[in-house]
Structures are given as structure tokens and as C-alpha cells.
Amino acid sequence: MKILVIGGGGREHALVWKLGQSAGVEKIWCAPGNAGMAQEAECVVVDAGGVTGLVAFAEKVKPDLTVVGPELPLVNGLVDEFLARKWAVVGPDKKAAQLEGSKIFAKEFLQRHNIPTAEMYGAHDSAGGAYGALCAVDWPVVIKADGLCAGKGVFVAPNPDAATDFIERVMEKNELGDGGKRVMLEEALEGEELSFILLTDGERYAPLVPTRDHKRAFDNNQGPNTGGMGAYSSAQLLPADLRDMIEKTIVEPTMNGLAADGIPYQGFLYVGLMLTKDGPKVLEFNCRLGDPETQAILARVDFDLAEVLADAAGGKLKPEKMKWKGGASACVVLASGGYPGKFDTGKEILGLADAARVPDVKVLHAGTRLAGDLIVTSGGRVLGVTATGDTLSAALEKAYEATGKIQFDGMHYRRDIGKAHQQSSAAGD
Ligand code: AMP
């Protein structure tokens, strides 16, 4: 099987790593990939968000299967183009990807099918309308830009001044681009957050192992929100009774709702949940895998990933094939100095070979590139040091041992992955 993986971050490196272990895989391309993926696959200079360029590349190399990592090509309709040509692809089409691409579309879907979620106060396409609506909400209020905003489109506003400021920045100053043209106001939910990620072929679905990520930049959930500073996976995260409740009250009504609305959904579906005192409620849908959750999830794969993804793309998912390693996994993200704010790139990364020698560790690359013979930083999140173990503490110990061998100027990472529960008051990815 020849496979094209679209994207160039840690999530996509994890996909390439596990797809490369599948028995039938003879070739993997990555568009655009990174320095780590370049050691395991052929990276090609094609923009991951550009549908035309990706179609032209696939036309040339004719992959047997394409796996789409990020949301942008999905929301831009890449899968529609592939399906029109009868090419096998993992990911939802443009209409189904609206579950992530439009918060208002997702909210209306949830309401239509009586799926538990935060109450929507209203949707507005003018700043004036949104300001006016603030006099009739409970505080804090959650303000969500409707479209894709690279994780910056959600704000939990504690008071009217903060809400007004966010609406002004999004709708009047256009700071988030087109994604902020409409906003939605909704009730703020309280509880612990949990992500539930599944793979579906449109009819059948299979949950992946549970994970939790850490969004804040610094230990003890301090500092600004990031794309994710680490993640871990262990069965303890999701007791069987809670999993059953989530499947019954959220996942099954979602699958049935999609079918009833004539929106066939194929690919990964990420359901962001708040475990409230009234039960689990949906915060958001993402139409793809999370990053860095994927790194922790795929480290526990004990099945042929390429075969299972090809089954899903072909409408023949066999959930029973998806066997997982017991124990736990952890991913520690090493970030550039200054991230998630301004940071420099081009810093030489040392110690990668030493880190790779720690047993049960895989160093997954995100923002890295080759500069001659050197591997240098090229993004905010640079590496995801990922390990498995019989227990969460064993996995963490190995991940941190390997982390200790890696160095680059300005490198920072959290030392409490797998320990602190996440408390965030603003956007995630
Ligand atoms: P979303 O992209 O919709 O998941 O929002 C990103 C983050 O904002 C979530 O992970 C939550 O931490 C927070 N959030 C979103 N919606 C709500 C809500 N209704 N109540 C409280 N927090 C929320």
C-alpha cells in the first residue's frame, strides 16, 4: 500500500510512524512533513491547506490511501475532491467537516438532535448585535467565533468589559480573520474536560483509547493557552460506566443525527466534553485527531493501522481489529522559548539520538527542519517525546528521561504532564 499523509506536525509524524509499521505499507509521502518524518517517509513541498496542489500531487503519485491530519484541508473540501475521483481517503467531506468549521452549525446540529450541550444565547453577524446581547446573558459567558481561528476563537468572558473587548477585537478589528465574522454566545459550563475520539466509516464507529491533554504553557496550569504541551493515555481516565454514558447520551445520538441529516461522516471525530454535574455535555467537535493527543493514542496501537484506516475509508471498519496496548503512554512537548508568544527558529537540536535510545521512547517531530546536516527548530512546538509503560508513572519516567537528553536554545516544557488536571478558561485547539 502507498500512503499519502497530509500535514507536518507531531500528529502526522505519529501517523507516519505507525503506518510505517503496518505490514502492507511500501511507501509513504508526507505533504509537507518535517525533519523527523523525512527520516521515515518522502516529504514533498505541497501546502497542507491547498486543495488544488494536493489533488495535483495525488494525481501524479496515485496513493492507495490518503490520511488527512489537520482540519483546514477538510474544511476546504479536500475529501470531496478525492471522493469525486474515487480515491480512498480518511477524513470527512466539506459538509461533515462543518461540525468543526462552524460552531453555529455544530450547535444547531446538537440542538436539533437533543444532544446535551451548553445553551446557546444567540448568534450574531454584527458587533452591535453581539454587544446588545450581552445584557441578557449569565456571567461568565462563552463567546465563540464561528469559523476556524487556529485555537484562538473561544473566550470565557468573566464580565461585560472583557466580553466587549473580545467582540471588538474579533468582529471590529478582525484580529482572527474571516473566522470571526460571526460569533455565538453560550452558557459557561463547569466541570472537568475530557476528549472522546473515535474512528468511523459512516456507519460503525470505534472509540480510541482515552487521552487528556495539557493546554496551558506552564506547570500547574499556569500561563497562556497553547496548542497543547503534552498528553497522556491510560484506561483510568475513562471508567467503563462513564464511557457507556458518553456513548449512549452523546456518541450514538451524534452518529444517528448525522445519518438522519444525510451528512455521512467518515474519519476521525473528536468530541470535546465537559463532565458537568448534570452529565457529559458537548463543548465542541473537531473533525480530525487532536495534537498532541494523537501521539499518546497511537503509541498504544497494537494493530495494523494502515489496514484499519483503509477499511474505514472503504466503509468497512471492523472495530474488533483495533487492539490496544495495555498500560499507559505519555507525550511531553518540547517548545521554543517564548511559545505560544513570539519565538525564534533555526536553533540546533542536540541529543536526539541519545533520547531515541531510551527504551519504549519515540521522539516525534513537530516544528523541525533540516538545515544541511543539522536538525533545527522551525515552529513553536518542536518535539513530542512519547513513551509507553505498564503504568502511567513508568511511561512518564521514560518520557522525561529522554527529554533530559535533548537540548536546544530556549527549550521549555512542562514537568507535570500526567499529573495536573487541566483547567483552562480560554481556547484550545
Ligand atoms: P472549544 O474550541 O469550543 O472546545 O473551546 C475551547 C475551550 O474553551 C474548551 O476546551 C473549554 O476549555 C472552553 N470552553 C468552550 N466552551 C465552553 C463552555 N460552554 N463552558 C466553559 N468552557 C468552555
Q: d(Cα 166, Cα 175) in Å, to the nearest integer?
A: 10
Q: The C-alpha cell of 109 is what?
A: 446540529
Rg, Å, the chain Cα set: 21
User: What is the 389 CA–ligand 1 centroid distance (Å)?
Assistant: 31
* Atom 18 of ligand 1, nearest CA residue: 188
Strands laid side by side in the 154-157 sheet: 120-124, 183-187, 141-145, 154-157
Q: Looking at residue 49, what is its pLDDT?
A: 87
pLDDT, residue 422, reads 42
Q: Is the CB of 100 under 6 A from ligand 1?
A: no
At residue 425, the pLDDT reads 36
Nearest to 333 by CA among 272, 302, 290, 374: 290
Look at strands 192-200 and 205-207 and give their pairing.
antiparallel
Atom of ligand 1 lying closest to residue 186 CA: 19
213 Cβ below 6 A of ligand 1 = no
For the Cβ of 12 lying below 6 angstroms from any atom of ligand 1, the answer is no
Q: Check if 118 has its Cβ closer than 6 Å to any atom of ligand 1.
A: yes
CB contact burial 212-240 (16+ within 10 A = b; e otherwise): bbbbbbbbebeeebbbbbbbbbbbebbee
Buried b or exposed e, range 144-174, using 16+ CB within 10 angstroms: bbbbbbebbbbbbbeeeebbeebbeebbeee
Q: Hey, which of 105, 141, 156 would you mutate to test ligand 1's pocket, going by the most ligand atoms within 8 Å of its Cβ?
A: 156
CA of 196 to the centre of ligand 1 (A): 15
189 lines ligand 1 (CB under 6 A): yes
246: its cell numbers: 458518553
At residue 117, the 3 state secondary structure works out as strand
Strand partners, 369: 376
Query: Which residue minimizes the CA distance to atom 12 of ligand 1?
Result: 424
**Measured from the CB, is residue 427 less than 6 Å from ligand 1?**
yes
382 lines ligand 1 (CB under 6 A): no
Closest atom of ligand 1 relative to the 428 alpha carbon: 6
Question: 3-class DSSP state for residue 5?
Answer: strand
* Burial profile 3-14: b = 16 or more Cβ within 10 angstroms, e = fewer: bbbbbbbbbbbb
- pLDDT tens for the chain, 429 residues long, are 999 999 999 999 999 999 999 999 999 999 999 999 999 999 999 998 899 999 999 999 999 999 999 999 999 999 999 999 999 999 999 999 999 999 999 999 999 999 999 999 999 999 999 999 999 999 999 999 999 998 889 999 999 999 999 999 999 999 999 999 999 999 999 998 889 999 999 999 999 999 999 999 999 999 998 999 999 999 999 999 999 999 999 999 999 999 999 999 999 999 999 999 999 999 999 999 999 999 999 999 999 999 999 999 999 999 999 999 999 999 999 999 999 999 999 999 999 999 999 999 999 999 999 999 999 999 999 999 999 999 999 999 999 999 999 999 999 999 999 986 544 333 333
Q: What CA–CA distance (Å, rounded) separates 401 from 419?
A: 16
**Ligand 1 contact, 332 CB (< 6 A):** no
* 142 pocket-lining for ligand 1 (C-beta < 6 Å): yes
